[in-house]
Amino acid sequence: MPEQLSAELHDDNDETVHSSPFNLSNKRVILTMGGKGGVGKTSFMLVLAEWFQSHDIPVTLLDLDTENRARGSLKHYFDGQVTKVNIHTPAGLDAFVDHLADGAPIILGDMGASAGQVTHVWFDSMYEDVAATGVSFTAIGIVTPDPASVESILNWAARLQERVSYVIVENATTHQADFSYWRDSEQAQQFRNVFDPTILAMEFRLPELENPARQHGVTLTEIVERRVGVAELRRASLVIRAQSYRRRLFAEIEKAKGLLLP
Amino acid sequence: MDSRFEAILNSLPNKKPRSRLEPYCELILEMRKRGQSYRAIAQILRKSCGLKFGSSTVNDFVLAHSKSQQITTGKNKYRSPVATSSYNALQGVISHSKDTTESKGAARSPKVLEGIARTLKELKDRPLKTHTKKVLFEYNPDEPLRLQHDKKLKKE
C-alpha cells in the first residue's frame, strides 16, 4: 500500500521519533556513578532508600552491581525488595525503562564499579528516546579523599555530559577527611563550574557502628527502631549515634530533593 | 509500433467521447488536484454548468481517465515538475514488479503515485544527520589532577 510506504518513509522524521508511545514524565532514575569500588556508593543508596521510605515514597530498587558479593550489595540490606539485574547483556540498562513503565515513579539503581562502559554506551544509544518519554536522570557520585574516586567521577561526567543532573556526596572515610583533590583540583573545579552539582556531606561513621551494620545487612532505621537481633547494635549509645547520623544525612539529602524527586 | 497495426488504427473512425463529462475533463481533474471531493465536484458542475451527475459518475470518470493516461502515455497532468523523475522511476518499478500484476500497478491513482514520488524525493534530498554530541565538559583521564594551590605555589 502506498500509504504504508509513505508512513514507513516518514518514520525517519524527527517528529516521529520524538513522539513516544509512552508517557513516563514525572519519573526519575537515580543511579550511582563512578568506577572506583568501595567508596560508599551502596552505603549512600541505602540511606537514600531509607529517606524515600520515611516519606512513604515508593521506589524500585535495582541492584546492578553484578560483581559485588551478596554481603555488601543492596540486596543484602533490602532482601525481597531488590531486583538484581545483569547489565552486561546487549540490552544493557533497558531494565530502567521496563521498571519505570510498570511501577514506581523512582528507580534507585546501584551501579557496580565496572558499569562504566555499559552505562555510557546505553546513554549514547538510548538516552534521546528514553528522555523523550519524560524520564529524568540523576547521577550520584561519591568522592573520598582518594583522588581515584574524583578521577572516576570526572571520567563518567565527561561521557554522560548534561544528560543527567549531578549530586556529589563527599564521603568522609576518615575522621578528618581531606577532600583536596575534589575541592581544589582544576579538573574538578571545571566540572563544578559546568554542571553545578549539588554537594552533600556524608560524615565519618564510627567503625563500631558501620562494621556490624554492614556485616549483618542492617539499615540505620532498623538500628534506630531497635529491630535488630544483633546485640552489639542494640547498645544505647550506638542506637542514638545511628539516629543522629541518620538525621543529619536526611538533612543533607533534603538539599538535593529537587534532583531526587520526580 | 508495427506499421500494420498503425494502419489498422488509422483506418478506425474517430469515436466520440463516451462520457458527457469529457469536455470538462481538465476542469474536473484540476478540481480534484485542488482537493475537491467527488460530491463537491458534482455539485459545482450542476450549479455552474447545468450538468446533472452523481458523485459516483465523477469518481468513475476520474478513475477511468487516470487509468487511460497511465496505460497509454505514462504521463500525468497532476505531477509537479519537481517530482517528475521520481514519478517516472516509480512507474518503472511498479510495472516491472514481480509480485504485482500490470493491472494492479495501473490501479494506483495518480495522486497516490505522486505522493510516493514526492516522499522519495524529499527523502533523497534530506541532508544526512550527523550526531554531534554536545560536549560541555572534557576530561583527560591520562592527566593527573592538578591542585590549584600547587599552581599558586609555583607562581610564587
CA distances from A249 to A46, A170, B1 (A): 11, 12, 92
Q: What does the alpha-carbon distance between residue B106 and residue B69 come to, in Å, rounded to a whole number?
A: 10
Q: What does the alpha-carbon distance between residue A152 and residue A146 come to, in Å, rounded to a whole number?
A: 10
B113 burial type by CB count under 10 A (0-12 exposed, 13-18 middle, 19+ buried): buried
In chain B, residues with a C-beta closer than 8 Å to the C-beta of A6 are: 115-116, 119
Q: What does the alpha-carbon distance between residue A16 and residue B124 come to, in Å, rounded to a whole number?
A: 18
The confidence band for B52, taking pLDDT boundaries of 50, 70 and 90, is confident
Q: Is B150 a member of any domain? A: no
To the nearest 10°, the Cα dihedral for B81, B82, B85, B87?
-80
The torsion angles phi and psi of B70, rounded to 5 degrees, stand at: -65, -45
Instruction: Looking at the structure, tell me whether residues B62 and B83 fall in a common domain.
Output: no
Q: Is B137 a member of any domain? A: no
pLDDT value, residue B90: 53
Look at residue B99 and tell me whether its pLDDT is greater than 80.
no
Closest CA to A183 of A164, A168, A162: A168
CB A101 within 8 A of CB A23: no
Interval A117-121 mean pLDDT: 93
Q: Is B62 a member of any domain? A: yes
Higher pLDDT, B91 or A49: A49
Q: Is B52 a member of any domain? A: yes
Is the minimum CB–CB distance between B136 and chain A shorter than 8 Å?
yes
pLDDT value, residue A213: 92
Rounded to the nearest 10 degrees, the angle between the axes of helix A186-195 and helix B148-155 is 120
Q: What is the DSSP letter of B128?
A: P
Is the minimum CB–CB distance between B34 and chain A shorter than 8 Å?
no
Looking at the structure of chain B, the number of domains it has is: 2
Q: Is A184's CB within 8 Å of B141's CB? A: no
Range of the domain at B117: 75-126
Q: What is the pLDDT of residues A62-115, one digit of tens each?
A: 998 877 666 678 888 887 788 889 898 888 899 999 998 888 899 999 998 889
Instruction: Looking at the structure, tell me whether residues B101 and B119 fall in a common domain.
Output: yes
Instruction: Looking at the structure, tell me whether residues B39 and B79 fall in a common domain.
Output: no
Closest CA to A29 of A56, A48, A15, A55: A48
Q: Is B59 a member of any domain? A: yes
Interval B113-136 mean pLDDT: 84
Closest CA to A2 of B93, B146, B33: B93
- Cα nearest neighbour of A146 on chain B: B145
Is the minimum CB–CB distance between A8 and chain B shorter than 8 Å?
no
Q: Is B89 a member of any domain? A: yes
Q: Is B106 a member of any domain? A: yes
Is the minimum CB–CB distance between B108 and chain A shorter than 8 Å?
yes
pLDDT value, residue A137: 97
Q: Is B1 a member of any domain? A: no
The confidence band for B29, taking pLDDT boundaries of 50, 70 and 90, is confident
Higher pLDDT, B5 or A55: A55
B134, B146, B151 member nearest A161 (Cβ): B134
All cell numbers assigned to A80: 525481597
Whether this model's ipTM surpasses 0.95 comes out as no
Instruction: Looking at the structure, tell me whether residues B63 and B82 fall in a common domain.
Output: no
Choice among A57-66, A244-253, B96-105 with the minimum mean pLDDT? B96-105
Is the minimum CB–CB distance between A15 and chain B shorter than 8 Å?
no
Instruction: Looking at the structure, tell me whether residues B54 and B87 fall in a common domain.
Output: no
Span between the terminal Cα atoms of chain B, in Å: 98
Beta strands across the sheet bearing A165-171: A82-84, A59-64, A106-111, A27-33, A135-143, A165-171, A198-202
Question: Can you list the domains of chain A with their CATH numbers?
Answer: 24-206 (3.40.50.300)
Q: Would the pTM of this model clear 0.90, i.e. be above it?
A: no
Q: What is the nearest CA distance from A59 to chain B, expressed in angstroms?
A: 31
